[in-house]
Structure 1
Amino acid sequence: MQNWVYVVLAILTVYILISVLLFFFQDFFLFKPEKLNKDFQFHYENQETEEYNVETRDGAIINGLHFKAKDPKGVVFYLKGNSKSIKGWGKFAVDFTRHGYDVIMVDYRGFGKSTGRRTQKAVKRDMQVIYNKIKKKVSEKYIILYGRSLGSGFAAKLASMNEPRMLILDAPYYSLSKVAKKYIPFMPLSLLIKFPMPTYKWLKYVKCPIHILHGTDDRLIPYKTSVKLSKINPKRTKLYTIIGGGHKDLNTFESYHSMLGDIINSRPRKVNLEGSSIDVKHTSKPINA
């Protein structure tokens, strides 16, 4: 057997080995959960909270927190990113409670006190269960879906299947397959990845207003991703740019809080285009004197 055949076989063997490892261990790359003891006590200064547990049909427990505002205008269902637990993410609830909105946060399976085997289908089903419980107490016209990074995909999926007041996406991805391909472009990710999370597909079916917030200096999920997403359902979408914002620090920018306040406190209104330049036709032909 010629030497080139051995080289090809060696490369093929390594490629298959990497594919197998990627398939079985991708959870360790995609998710960075923080586990909490069952008796852990959540505490946030100047925040009224209530802890709850929801049992799913397959026996998993989804642990969550309800941050309460005085005389709430509505409720924000906040779907967090891929790391830590709601122990740390809970500090962001104040960005909504200060505007008079209750906040619901949950830990995905395997995060915090939540249990159960984590799959894309299972997490999507869990989030719908939580959403159903919210809308039993609050009309959907008062529900805001907020998806942060990983949570943006789940939030987009929920919005595509329900009728919330609005959908807010914070540093969203086009799909997790696209994000992964950026780092391992030579792998057949469409066959290997268990969490493809095609946000772009779900956005097509969203019928409520869509607000996208993204920083120009985001190195994990580039700003151009949100530009691309904003074109999928353009009549319902507004893109908000945080100049200099990265992936994890948007809350440190005054512009983020200004934009967020404007978004959640806004009321839908029809734009009057009568008398505007929207139908003005431009021509390069000379006008006859």
Structure 2
Amino acid sequence: MPYWLHVTIIILIIYVIISIAIYYLQDYLLFKPEKLPEDFQFYYENQDIEEHNLETRDGAVINGILFKPKGKSKGIVLYLKGNSKSIKGWGKFAVDFTRHNYNVLMVDYRGFGKSTGRRSQKAIKRDLQEVYNKIKEHTSEDRIILYGRSLGSGFAAKLASMNYPKMLILDAPYYSLTKVTARYAPFMPLSVLIKYPLPTYKWLKYVQCPIHIIHGTNDTLIPYKTSIKLSQVKPKLTKLHSVIGGGHKNLNNFESYHKMIHEILNRIPEEIDLSTTSIHVNHVSKKTKTKA
């Protein structure tokens, strides 16, 4: 056997082994769940909470916590968290919305916290739609805000594309999860291997509500340019909020982030009479005559 053919066969074998490993190990690489015992008691200082369980049609249980504001509720934020821990730790971020008199519902995906069931992209999308439907039994959609953080941004975009919430807020979103993983395995056939492609950009095309995208300019996990691309999918409905110097996990440490949340939740949209602006004014430079 020629040497070049021997080397080629070895490379192909290694390539196939790596592909198989990526396919079967991606759940362990993508999800970092924290599991909680059934009798675990949630507690957050100065927060009024209610624990809820939703049994899905395939017998799984989706566990969630409803955080209540001290004043009269303006609506509800369905907060879809990232890929790690459980709502035990994520619950501390609910105060960023309850302080504006919004209820906040946080749920754990399958296999996280007290939630059960076999995890898949299809199952999680179905679970979240069932959660959304339950919310609609208690309030109208014009009072529902979808907030997706990192991994949750894709699921939030999908929910918004299938429903009519008041608004969609994406925090450190990705263009698609396939694009994110391609940075670490550029030569692998990820479009075939990835079980959680989560094509946020595709789902955003069908969103009809206002879209707010928040991203840190120093995010090294999901680059800031990702949100620039996403903001161009539905530009008339989208506003991009940049947290200067913000990373992927520390936006809540920036005063500018909290000012953005305040503006997003409390500002009343105003129609602008474009006929009174310079939108149609062209800057034309005078041509200089050249001597013959």
TM range, normalised to the smaller chain? over 0.9
Verify: 1:30 aligned to 2:14, yes or no. no
| Runs of 5+ consecutive residues of structure 1 not aligned to the other structure | none
Q: What's the offset of the Cα at 1:280?
A: 1.1
Q: In 1, distance between residues paired with 2:219 and 2:235?
A: 22
SS of aligned partner of 2:137: helix
- When the two structures are superposed, what TM-score results if normalisation uses the length of structure 2? 0.97
For 2:116 and 2:269, locate their aligned partners in 1 and report how far apart those are by CA, in whole Å.
39
TM-score by length of 1: 0.98
Structure 2 gap ranges (5+): none
Counterpart Cα distance in 1 of 2:38 and 2:177: 31
Distance 2:286 2:278 in 1: 19
Q: Secondary structure of the residue that 2:145 maps to in structure 1?
A: strand
Q: Whole-Å Cα distance in 2 between the matches of residues 233 and 76 of structure 1? A: 22
Q: Deviations over 1:119-140 (max 9, x none)?
A: 0000001000000110111111
Instruction: Kindly provide the amino acid, as one letter, of the partner of residue 148 in structure 2.
Output: G
Give the partner amino acid of 1:215.
G
1:281 Cα deviation after fit: 2.3
Q: CA deviation at 1:45?
A: 0.3
Partner of 1:9: 9
- 2:265 alignment counterpart: 264
- The match for 2:40 is 40
How far apart are residue 269 of structure 1 and its match?
2.5
Q: Aligned residue for 2:49?
A: 49
Corresponding residue for residue 109 of structure 1: 110
Distance 2:43 2:275 in 1: 53
Give the distance between the partners of 2:195 and 2:134, measured in 1 at CA: 27
Which residue pairs with 2:167 in the alignment?
A: 166
Identity of paired residues, percent?
Answer: 68
Look up the match of 2:59: 59
* 2:207 equivalent in structure 1: 206
1:95 matched to 2:100? The reply is: no
1:275 & 1:265 partners in 2: Cα distance? 26
RMSD: 1.0
Other-structure match for 2:120: 119
> For residues 160-182 of structure 1, what are the alpha-carbon distances to aligned partners after superposition, in whole Å with 9 as ceiling and x for unaligned?
01000000000000000000000
